[in-house]
Structure 1
Amino acid sequence: MPAYPQRRSWPFAGVAIAASLCLGACSSVGDSARGALSTVTPYKVEVVQGNFVSKEQVEQLKPGMTRQQAREILGTSLLTDVFHKDRWDYVFTIRRQGVEAQQRRLTLYFNGETLERFDGDPMPSEEEFVAQLDGRKRRGSVPVLEASDAQLMKFDPPKAKSGDSAPTPAPAPAPLPAAYPPLETAR
């Protein structure tokens, strides 16, 4: 065992020196990297909970309705309190990245089997709610989807000149068969 252990230590020493130099360089770059990373935000999952109740649904509610009629209009309530059997709470929350969390409530009060009254937050119409969910940015106005006569003239077929023979018409497509083969073979 003459000198092998000493020769093996040189590569390890080289790796240790390179690692310390890299760590020293990272600390000087760290400030600028932290600034760049602070602009990057992680993806946050959209969380939707509860029953969305629209303005149109609330307008259909009338005192004197049965529980079943109210359930057909609004669906099953999110909260049914054991201690308040004559009260249904419809709660809707949505949390989206970059948008303030929204929460809406509607409470129905029953007297036995009939709806006595209801109250809650003002509800958006279905159209307003969908417009709020659409996160795409609108850019400019919608272009006109009509072509002028001058633009259409560019696509007209060339007209025959006085000495040219008339263009030959395109061949007619082959007639369809009277019957098609079955899709599956008979068993």
Structure 2
Amino acid sequence: MHGMSFPSWRVGATLTVALLVAGCASSTGGGAAAALQPYRMEVVQGNVVTREMLEQLRPGLTRDQVRGLFGSPLLTDIFHADRWDYVFTIRRQGAAPQQRRVTVYFASDRVQRHEAGELPSEREFVASIDAAKVKARTAPLELNETQLRALPLPVGRPAAAVAAAGPASAPQRVYPPLEPDARP
């Protein structure tokens, strides 16, 4: 038995394919590696607090009023009973992660002051979660007129017969009676 060797054309073909794949990966900004990323689940935690909501917060509101305005706080601490933290985070595939925090301080169960970073308006928040991406993933449920005309005709039926038949209807079904026949 003589030594096993690959024909030179196989080696050349293998190198050519490897170079093409490497070239595609570098020219598309990630190539095969970008296409093979695992699915990352969307993670949303906490309470969304917008600029409009924060404008309604004022000193003197009770804890129940704050809860009605912002919801239950994400963090309450038994060691800091006069402080409620509202933290909101969202992580979506293809979008930058977002994190916001609002801290409300109480004195005698009334709002004393609050701290908050820059909060988006309601419109800005909706735009930031990129509703267009969600819409793009949703398949249309109906065909438009152009798509309907592009469909192939049923086999064995001329176009005039299909047009005259109008919309398709379900076949009529005949069911046996529910009760046995009581005839003598």
User: What's the TM-score once normalised by structure 2's chain length?
Assistant: 0.56
Q: Distance in 2 between matches of 1:109 and 1:120?
A: 11
Q: How big is the shift at 1:55?
A: 1.1
CA distance in 2, matches of 1:81, 1:22: 68
Unaligned stretches of 5+ residues in structure 1? 1-15, 138-187
Task: Indicate which of 108, 114, 117 corresponds to 1:112.
Answer: 108
Residue correspondence of structure 1 range 1-187 to structure 2 within 5 A: 25-26=13-14, 28-37=16-25, 38-40=30-32, 41=34, 42=37, 43-134=39-130, 136=132
Question: Which whole-Å CA distance do the structure 2 matches of 1:75 and 1:125 have between them?
Answer: 18
Distance 1:34 1:51 in 2: 45
Distance in 1, Cα, partners of 2:63 & 2:42: 32
Task: Supply the AA of the counterpart residue of 2:74.
Answer: L
Is the partner of 2:65 in helix, strand or coil? helix
Q: Secondary structure of the equivalent of 1:123?
A: coil
Residue 65 of structure 1: SS of its match in structure 2? coil
Q: Which runs of 4+ in 1 moved over 6 A?
A: 21-24
* Identity percentage of aligned residues: 49
Q: TM-score, normalised by structure 1?
A: 0.55
5+ long unaligned stretches in structure 2? 134-184
3-state SS of the aligned residue for 2:96? Answer: strand
Letter in 2 for 1:36: C
One-letter amino acid of the counterpart of residue 33, structure 1? V
CA RMSD in angstroms comes to 3.1
Distance 2:124 2:108 in 1: 35
| Cα distance change on mapping 1:34 and 1:44 into 2, 3 Å | farther
Q: Which moved more, 1:128-137 or 1:69-78?
A: 128-137
CA distance in 2, matches of 1:109, 1:132: 28
What's the offset of the Cα at 1:119? 1.1
Query: Could you say if the C-alpha distance between residues 135 and 35 of structure 1 is closer, same or farther in structure 2, counting changes exceeding 3 Å?
Result: farther
- Alignment length (residue pairs): 126
Q: Give the 3-state SS of the residue equivalent to 1:99 in structure 2.
A: coil
Paired residue secondary structure (2:86): strand
* Secondary structure of 1:45's aligned partner: coil
Greater C-alpha Rg: 1
Q: Distance in 1 between matches of 2:94 and 2:82?
A: 38
